[in-house]
Amino acid sequence: MEMQAEAAAGGPGGPDLRSDLPVVSFNQACEYFIDSLTGRSQQTRDAYYMDLLQFKLYLVRYRRHLIRRGDPERIERLEEELAKARGKLLDTRYTQRRHRLEVRSRAILDEFDLDLSQLTKEDIVGYFGYLESGKSLSRATLLRRLASLRRFIGLLVKEKYPVPAEVLEKLNDMDIRRERRLPIALEREEAQDFLRVVSKDPRDYAIVLVMLYMGLRISEVVRLNEDDFGPGTQGISFQGKGGKERYVPVHPVVLDAILKYKEVRPDAERDALGVPLFVSRHRRRIDPSTVRKLIKRYAKEALALDNQKRKKLSPHKLRHTFATLLLQGDVDIRYIQELLGHENLSTTEIYTTVRKADLERAIDRHPLGLEPAEQAAESRSPSR
């Protein structure tokens, strides 16, 4: 494999630079890495790309000796644009306080390129320290960023790019403990109450049933097409994360709701994915943000939900509910793993975390079945 490395060029100096190594362009290496993700969904490729852009942003801002293209004086402008976008990488226009603002943080970052041959393990440690303390990211996000960098640098090392081996060694040695908090999920009665509230709208009712009875990701829900469901449909195959295909049966309740929705569904034109099943008010494929908003709206009306669930209910929480209810119904965890499309069983095992309510129910069902002393005394006392 021919290395996409440039001849060493002049640029801002820095401490302990290894001038004997050819320059490894971050931009070219990133392009090569994304192209190597064959068989992966566009959503997965985009997620990897955004993770690498965040790493690049950190290096441009705080490891300037790695810059090999771009004017360091433009970093001040980059900081200004990031402040406008509240730290996000954007290249768009949006309204804030009734004023039109043009945000160009992403475009300015694109002006820069970095030399990965000069990367050190200290840069890696500094990046994750910044993410954990400066950005206050969740453990799940930190784990994803670490996995993305491991795969990126691992590919470069495998393809003989002159990236220091210590960088990959440091990435492989890093240990970010996963949070074992139980995902927020609805109890059976809460889910039934939520469905009762949603049932007044055929489209929204069908969407929620699909999530609660099939455990689909929101990206999979909005990609459903009209011809995916017919009177005899028994199941659907999905291509999930990592290009892995899985089969999910369609419950009769779900099929009935979808067929009833199709009777009143407005016509919509075919798009790049086909003729959409779930259609917006504008007669286009429904957007994930619309689904999130409608779930938030209905959650406020569901009286059986506590305040935390009303505030935090989301499409992914309904997916958690699907898995949790199946597990409570004694479905084998391996089947749940398959239905959710989890590559590793450890991902599914988070649903097996014991809850306080489960412990209390277990004690209530103690096989000895003895009664409290007061109740026992009452039962022994002669009736009058």
CA angle 156, 142, 35 (to 5 degrees): 35
Structural tokens at position 330: 């004694």
**Phi, psi (rounded to 5 degrees) for 179:** -70, 135
- The active-site residue, picked from 56, 223, 319, 320, is 319
- The active-site residue, picked from 241, 246, 251, 296, is 241
Asked whether 197 and 298 are in contact (CB, 8 A), the reply is: yes
Q: Token match 């360091």: residue? A: 72
State how far the Cα of 119 lies from the Cα of 9, in Å rounded to an integer: 16
Asked whether 85 and 103 are in contact (CB, 8 A), the reply is: yes
Determine whether 282 is an active site residue: no
Asked whether 289 and 252 are in contact (CB, 8 A), the reply is: no
Those residues whose C-beta lies under 8 Å from the C-beta of residue 264, and which sit 6 or more positions away, are 202
SS3 label, residue 203: helix
Outline where DSSP puts E strands in the chain: 5-6, 23-24, 67-69, 92-96, 99-103, 113-114, 235-239, 245-249
- The active-site residue, picked from 106, 203, 217, 309, is 217
Determine whether 319 is an active site residue: yes
Determine whether 217 is an active site residue: yes
- The active-site residue, picked from 68, 223, 309, 342, is 342
Determine whether 351 is an active site residue: yes
Those residues whose C-beta lies under 8 Å from the C-beta of residue 203, and which sit 6 or more positions away, are 261, 265, 278, 279
Structural tokens at position 308: 């935390």
CA angle 282, 288, 294 (to 5 degrees): 75
The terminus-to-terminus CA distance of the chain in angstroms comes to: 95
Structural Rg of the chain based on CA atoms:
27
State how far the Cα of 207 lies from the Cα of 236, in Å rounded to an integer: 15
Catalytic positions are 217, 241, 316, 319, 342, 351
